[in-house]
Amino acid sequence: MTLLHESLTELAELAPQCSDTPTVRGVLAESQDLVRNAIDHGERPQALVEWFSRLVTDVLHSEAIADMTGGAQLVLTGAIGRGDALPSSPIKWLTVGESHVDTTPVSDLITSVGLVAEHTHLGPTARTKQEWLSMIGTAQGSDLAVFADAGTWCLEEVVALPDHRPLLIDAIEHRPPTLRIHDGLPSRDMAVDIRKDLLYPIIAIARWAGVAAHSTDFSTRRRIPAAVAAGILTTSQADFLRQAWDAGLQLQFRRWTDRVHSHAATAESLPAIQRSIYGASSRLVSDVIRALAQQYDIPLKS
C-alpha cells in the first residue's frame, strides 16, 4: 500500500465534505498544486492519478454539487471514472436525472479552477437510470467504452452483454502510429501525442480485456491482471502494457509539470531519453495490438 504525503491525505478527506461552491473551488485548485509538488518530490504517478481521480469523484458527489444539480446523480466516466486521471485529463460524466437537469454550472466551476470539463460524445442530456441501461444494451464501440469506464452499474451491464468484440475492435483501431526511426530514435519531425497515441491504446486494450474477463475492476492498471487471470491476456502482453503504461504516465506528468501538456509536440521537442522511452513504449503496445488482431482475426488499418 502506498502511503501518500499528509497534505494529500488531508485534502482527500475534505473532498466529500464540500458543502458550498467556494469549498469545491478551493479543494480542486489546491489539488493541482499538491499534485505538482508531489511529482517534484518523486511520488509515483500511478498513486497520484488514483488519488486525484478519487478526490474529484468525491467532490462531484458532495452536497455542494448535489445542490447545483438539484440532486441529480453524476456518474463519472472517462479518466476520472477509471481512476486514471491527471489534472490535465477531461472530466466527464453521465447525468442520471430528469431531462431538464442542467450541469453547465458544474462544468463552469470546474473550468474556473483550470481543470477541463468535457461532455462525452453521448451529449450533456440527463437521462433516467432506465434510459441509460437501455442505451447500454444497444451501444457499440466508443459508446460502449463510455459505459465500461463509468463503473458500478454501468460496467456491470456492459460485462453482462453477450459480445465484447466491439471493445476489442475499438482498441485495435487505436494502435499507436507507425514510428519513423532515425538513428534508433523516433524521427524528430514526427508528431507526438502521449495521451492519444500511447496511453489511450493501453486504456482501450485493458478495457476490453477486463470486460472480456468479466471483471468489475475499472482502472487500467487493475484490469490488466484480471485479464491475465482469466486467460484473456498473456503474462508477456500484460508486462508490455504495464511497462508502457508506467512510462507513458511518467512522460505525461512531466509535460504537465512543465506546463506544455496542451502544446502540439514533435519528437524533436522531447529530450533524447524521453524520445527513446516514447518510441520503446509505443513499440510494446503495437506488438500487443498486432498479436491480438491476429488472434481474433481483426484487420489492422494501414
pLDDT in tens, the chain (302 residues): 456 889 999 999 999 999 999 999 999 999 999 999 999 999 999 999 999 999 999 999 999 999 999 999 999 999 999 999 999 999 999 999 999 999 999 999 999 999 999 999 999 999 999 999 999 999 998 999 999 999 899 999 999 999 999 999 999 999 998 877 777 777 788 888 999 999 999 999 999 999 999 999 999 999 999 999 999 999 999 999 999 999 999 999 999 998 888 777 888 888 889 989 999 999 999 999 999 999 999 999 86
Q: What are phi and psi of 142, to 5 degrees?
A: -65, -30
In single-letter form, the type of residue at position 58 comes to D
3-state secondary structure 140-177: CHHHHHHHHCCCHHHHHHHHCCCCCHHHHHHHHHCCCC
Q: What is the pLDDT of residue 1?
A: 42
For residues 82 and 53, the answer to whether their CB atoms sit within 8 Å is yes
Burial class (CB in 10 A: 0-12, 13-18, 19+), 184: exposed
Separation between Cα atoms, residue 14 and residue 12, nearest integer Å = 5
125: Cα within 13 Å, side-chain hemisphere: 8
Q: What is the pLDDT of residue 4?
A: 82
Q: How far apart are CA 302 and CA 300, in angstroms?
A: 6
The whole-number pLDDT of residue 283 equals 95
Q: Contact, 150 vs 77, CB < 8 A?
A: yes
Which pLDDT does position 262 carry in this prediction?
77
Residues 6+ apart with CB under 8 A from 238: 224, 225, 227, 228
Residue 3 has a pLDDT of: 62
Whole-model pTM: value is: 0.95
pLDDT at position 2: 56
* Confidence at residue 191, expressed as pLDDT on a 0 to 100 scale: 86
